[in-house]
Structure 1
Amino acid sequence: MMPRQPRLADHTADGRMLILAALALVIGSGGAAAAWLLLKMIALATNIAWYGHVSFDTVSIVPAAHGPRVLLVPVAGSLIIGLMARFGSDKIRGHGIPEAIEAILFGQSRLSPKVAVLKPISAAVSIGSGGPFGAEGPIIMTGGAIGSLLAQCFHLTAAERKTLLVAGAAAGMTAIFGTPVAAMLLAIEVMLFEWKPRSFVPVAVAALTAIAWRPLLIASGPMFTLGAPLALSGETLACAALLGGGIGIVASFLSTALYRIEDGFHALPVHWMWWPALGAVIVGIGGMIDPRVLGAGYDNIQMLLGGSMLLRAILLLLVVKAVVWLVALGSGTSGGILAPLLMLGGALGAVAGHGLPGGVGLYALAGMAAMMSASMRAPLTAAVFAVELTGRLEALPVVAAASVTGYAVAVLVLRRSILTEKIARRGRHLSQEYAVDPLARVRAGEIMVPSPDSLSATMPVGRAVAFLADAPYRSYPVIDARSRPIGLVSRSDAVRWRKDRPDPATPLGDLLADCPVVSVRPGLPVDLVAERMLADNLRRMAVVDDDGVLIGLIARQDLLFARSDWRHEERARVRFSH
């Protein structure tokens, strides 16, 4: 009997990828429509809250931000959000991305219809009433919910549902900002935790579908303009790198401050439903000091990039926006973090740009990329995002320098990002580092025990029981006359045979005739060996050559040895030349 071999690849994988890509077309369209609807709801909430009339036209809060309403409107909006969270779904609290990550990693990528409906409504109320947030976090959650809900209508695996959830999130982000490539990179760096064709292709399809819809639904062209000519040189690259390092420190401080404030709200002797309203009091006070901190503030980002904001105004915006955003987000209200991070990073860059060569707008853009990279641990996403926002590809080296240094400093200062810290506080720790599986680099022949001791298929059961009682190893392969494995016997088998009392003269081969052994070739990657051992609940597996002859044996502990070699490569320092 020839040993049974594990299947190395799923021949339907390509077909599944095409099915997911087809579904991603629908999800991309749904994400773009949801983004359009969210922006219209934000405009409606803004007009009702600040101007007292029903309109879907985009308006600024600043002209209406005077008198008692600056304090009352944010508090009223936050009270509505608290009620929605308590009696609707508490999943609408927060900025959306950590919740999406948690659903992906620990919730089998399932989001409820209630979240898909309530999250954009709560975000519209929050931003429209003056909450210092952007629309990107809520639309990522909403787009992800669309992908997840569609996936739940089909017979899909959890990994395939994850792909469609992330595809919806990428589509929503693309529709809001017009940044399809950055959305794809965000999916890879922050949400997918893998880079496989099965996952990347549908995400790309969804993002490209959303960007195709964007000119018809929202707007065409870059979201912001950077009109000044760019003076790129080695000097500007060095300055941008220094700026990124400084912003990395600031981003780490902001992340620490956010969770300290969140801890403070948790210590309050009132139900969490009231926390957003308490935080909104600080938002209102901040609005009295500088009305520009209210709402998403995309016009402020444009002024920073254009270099038209005075230094004193930039400093005021920077301080007040940071305070109201940290308090509001720490209170557990609904809103995104990306727009505030862009504004704070842009303000820091613009302040530095007043004393550095290259122009204020260039350093404001670099500061935006550095703040996003350091806070979210997504350096590639941040660099490409900044370029796509403005359509200025020639700025990529400068923003990349700031993005990478900001990321490097933040990694050294803090263990987790502003996104993963929230998940870690719920007892779920994860890493955003990507590497090749160490088991995939090793072949079965490298970790097997070669030429293992074996038992003959003709050995009587009585002799086998006596041998196993005092044998030095727990189990042994049984081979036929041509040295091909036909099964494995262990001490537990000997115990069972003593109880069942088969004829002592019965050959082992007769007892194992209905139990074909699972074996692998020596060239098979160990990660596939591990998968097969797990699937068949095996403690040991035979290794055979092309003729089916037994040449080795792999136990579960051998898998750990393969990983220990990788750890040695990571930590051992060796010098080969003097």
Structure 2
Amino acid sequence: MNPTLPQRLQSLGSARAPVNAGAAPRPQPGDYAAQPRLLRMAALAAVLGGLGTVAAYTLLTLIRFFTNVFFFQTLSVADRSPAEHTLGLWVIALPVVGGLVVGLMARYGSEKIRGHGIPEAIEAILFGKSRMSPKVAVLKPLSSGIVIGSGGPFGAEGPIIMTGGAVGSLLGQLLHLSAAERKTLLVAGATAGMTAVFGTPLAAVLLAVELLLFELRPRSLLPVAIACAVAGFTRPLLLDAGPLFPLQTAPVAWPAMLSCGVAGALAGLLSAGMSRALYAVEDLFHRLPVHWMWWPAIGGLVVGLGGWWQPRAFGVGYDVIADLLNHRLLVDAALALLAAKAVIWVVALGSGTSGGVLAPLLMIGAGLGLVLSLVLPGGDASLWPLVCMAAVLAGVLGAPLTATAFAFGLTGDGNALLPLLLACAVSQGVSVLLMPRSIMTERIARRGRHVYREYGVDPQERAHVGDVMTRSPDCVPAETPLRDVAARWFGPAQRHRAFPVVRADGVFVGLVDRAHLGGPPDTPAGDLFASADAPVALPEDTCRSVALRMAALDIERLAVVDDPVDRRLVGLVSRSDLVKPAQGLHDEEVVRERPLRWRRR
């Protein structure tokens, strides 16, 4: 049932007179648009924090289970590396089988399980009203477990973001929530799952800000932070506690500043190259004369060959990342391993299978740092694999703060914070200049949906209706008959499309337009609005809130009154008035000036 006009006005917070509001104080504009529902959202987010930990435990257990099934033919959840297999050439077939199974699941289950998870979550948030199906919540971890367990070179972060997000979305769909509130729960579930997998709550919150929320407001940030905190506290109950890759580097010297710039620039170039390579491979798969269901199996053949050559390229590869950070690999062996990892990761992900991107990027970036550690001054040898793995992540994701906090959370290395921040910022700068879109948004853009990731305060939030309205508009007295209204206000010299109708005491009763002129000619204009509940705005309302109100009510203008009780007319605001604040933004962005000049004597 569609809501009535009064109900819609109440939901929008319109300036209508409350029943007993005679002595109620006028609400003053605040820094934030917080509402009591925030407490309810915070409680739901706490629940999602615990569910995210359970989802992470389930996903990691599935990965270990299928690793044992495929590589060791045992029904076990023991943590074993695929590199320990004794299958010989038969190992080439395992990723093919895993890819075939996932292709069938995607075709006959849900196509949403394809890809690495984050773009799919972004698309659901921006274009799907944060709705995910129960199939995704079940099939995504299952398909990722099969792919990674059969040797797929992926991490668990993308799948857990999609799985945790699906859990949050389903919870939001079961309750009476708005799309914005569902988005908050989706992101809370996604970041809680990431926290549980990696033990990096701060990085998960920053990931939400830089990639998923598309806003920075208490209504979304507080629930997400609570979900991540709860997941961080409950993580030791089901998973290992402490940093995933504990590391402590020596304090850096001043030459590290230049070294970080070099490392960041090279990481940005590598990020751009891998991103372009990924979508070039994806384009090649689209040209194949076979259904996309078969693509993961074809990509699995390349994975099998690469893993047969370099067995440690199979699977998540956390052990390899730890060896790179601690310099336990020779450069030649590391380069061969990372070349195989990069190739099979690009091909597998380009084939549309199910898997994540963070762990492979960490490994490839750490390999770059291992090579650069031979020549970069200013820090000990272990610093540069850490810095480069974060910088590559920042360049690929376009999220430097997330990458910095992520590397710190994975290692607990406080001495590396400054080098991490500088290198990640430089890497993102290079990648932004070289690529119009990142891996996170390219796939969405190819579907004809552009994602703009720069955030700023809406100029309509900074301007109030009183700053842009038409003051002292031409009014129609309430006792004027319609014939006179038509002759005087809607004649050849008509100034506006609608005119406010006011009583003799200046109280506003409604807006009259040509649609009202079809009644009896002797009808007074004031009688057209006997209920006197026409929507109005207040001078202190922001232009954004009034624009939302007009859009929801499908009207082009609102009368502005001095008080929601007395309703004395002070002005009229139209849609064209609401775009006036954009002029100031245009001047800030386009107009170049030189206010300060040297005076010549």
Partners of 2:420 and 2:128 lie apart in 1 by 36
Root-mean-square deviation (CA), in Å? Answer: 2.1
Measured after TM superposition, the shift of residue 84 of structure 1 is: 1.4
Distance 1:448 1:325, change over 3 A: same
| Partner residue, 1:296 | 316
Instruction: Return the TM-score normalized by structure 2.
Output: 0.91
Q: Deviations over 1:280-312 (max 9, x none)?
A: 111112113222211111111101110222111
Letter in 1 for 2:492: D
Structure 1 counterpart of 2:583, one-letter code: S
Percent of residue pairs identical: 51
Q: 2:181 and 2:554 mapped to 1: Cα distance?
A: 25
Task: Look up the match of 2:56.
Answer: 35
Q: Would the aligned equivalents of 1:318 and 1:348 in 2 still touch at CA under 8 Å?
A: no
Counterpart selection for 2:570 from 539, 551, 559: 551
Q: How many residues get paired?
A: 569
2:465–2:539 contact (8 Å) kept in structure 1: yes
Aligned to 2:295: 275
Change (3 A) 1:5 1:323: farther
The equivalent position to 1:470 in structure 2, one of 492, 498, 514, is 492
Please give the residue correspondences for 1:257-272 in structure 2 after superposition, counting only pairs within 5 Å. 257-272=277-292
Seen in structure 2, the aligned counterparts of structure 1 residues 416 and 312 have a Cα distance that, compared at 3 Å, is same
Structure 2: which amino acid aligns with 1:513?
A
Q: Structure 1, residues 333-363: CA drift from partner, whole Å, max 9, x if none?
A: 1110110111111111221111112123211
SS in 2 for 1:469: coil
Mapped to 1, the partners of 2:486 and 2:526 lie a distance apart of 14
What displacement does 1:530 show? 1.0
Correspondence 1:310 to 2:310:
no
Matched position secondary structure for 2:509: strand
Residue 13 of structure 1 deviates from its aligned partner by 5.7
Residue of structure 1 equivalent to 2:371: 351
> Secondary structure in 1 aligned to 2:40?
helix
Instruction: Give the counterpart of 2:505 among 482, 491, 495.
Output: 482
Separation of aligned partners in 2, 1:278 and 1:328: 9
Structure 1 letter corresponding to 2:374: H
Distance 2:394 2:33 in 1: 37
Q: Give 1:141 shift.
A: 0.9
Unpaired runs of 5+ residues, structure 2, are 1-14, 19-25
335-344 or 568-577, which moves further after superposition?
Answer: 568-577
State the SS of the aligned residue for 2:88: coil
1:110, distance to aligned residue in structure 2 (A):
1.7
Deviations 1:362-417 (A, max 9, x none): 11111111111111111111100100100112211110111111111111111111
Between stretches 133-142 and 26-35, larger displacement belongs to: 26-35
- Equivalent of residue 547 in structure 2, options 530, 534, 542: 530
With 404-413 and 229-238 compared, the bigger mean Cα shift is at 229-238
Contact 2:475 2:500 in 1 (8 A): yes
CA distance in 2, matches of 1:13, 1:569: 29
Distance 1:168 1:250 in 2: 31
Among candidates 253, 263, 281, match of residue 233 of structure 1: 253
Partner of 1:198: 219
In the alignment, does 2:593 pair up with 1:574?
Answer: yes
Contact 1:65 1:291 in 2 (8 A): no
Distance 2:208 2:194 in 1: 10
Give the AA of the match of 1:545.
D
C-alpha distance in structure 2 between counterparts of 1:231 and 1:240, whole Å: 14
1:77 pairs with 2:89: no
- 1:565 Cα shift? 2.8
Q: Which residue of 1 aligns with 2:16?
A: 4
Cα distance, 1:515 vs structure 2: 4.3
Task: Tell me if structure 2 keeps the 8 A contact 1:224–1:302.
Answer: yes
Question: Which of 560, 564, 571 is equivalent to 2:579?
Answer: 560
Q: Which aligned pairs between 1:352-501 and structure 2 lie closer than 5 A?
A: 352-357=372-377, 358-467=379-488, 468-473=490-495, 474-494=497-517, 497=518, 500=519
CA contact (8 A) 2:251 2:415 kept: no
- Counterpart code for 1:198: R
Give the SS at the match of 1:360: coil
Asked if 2 retains the 8 angstrom alpha-carbon contact of 1:293 and 1:317, the reply is: yes
The one-letter code matched in structure 2 to 1:111 is M
With the length of structure 1 as denominator, give the TM-score of the two structures. Answer: 0.94
Checking the alignment, whether the CA contact within 8 Å between 2:34 and 2:218 is kept in structure 1 is: no
Whether 2:157 is the aligned partner of 1:136: answer: yes
Amino acid in structure 2 at the alignment position of 1:322: A
Distance of aligned partners of 1:216 and 1:518 in 2 relative to their CA distance in 1, 3 Å threshold: closer
**Residue type at the aligned position of 1:477:** P
- Cα distance, 1:68 vs. partner? 1.1
String of CA shifts for 1:214-267, please: whole Å, max 9, x gaps: 11211011000224x323133112211221122112111211111111111011
Q: Which deviates more from structure 2 when the two are superposed, residues 170-179 or residues 511-520? A: 511-520
Residue among 513, 519, 537 paired with 1:520: 537
C-alpha spacing 1:410/1:65, structure 2 compared with 1 (3 Å)? farther
Higher mean C-alpha displacement, 529-538 vs 258-267:
529-538
Could you tell me how far apart the structure 1 residues matched to 2:223 and 2:461 are?
25
Residues of 2 paired with 1:57 and 1:479: CA distance?
79
Q: Which residue of the partner structure matches residue 10 of structure 2?
A: none
Q: Distance in 1 between matches of 2:174 and 2:568?
A: 48
In the TM superposition, residue 188 of structure 1 has moved relative to its aligned partner by 1.3
**Could you tell me whether the CA contact under 8 Å between 2:71 and 2:87 is conserved in 1?**
no
Q: Distance in 2 between matches of 1:182 and 1:134?
A: 16
More off after superposition, 134-143 vs 83-92: 83-92
Q: Could you report, residue by residue, the CA deviation over 1:103-130 in whole angstroms, capped at 9, with x for unpaired residues?
A: 1122221222211111111111111111
Query: How far did residue 548 of structure 1 move?
Result: 4.5
Deviation at residue 12 of structure 1 after TM alignment: 11
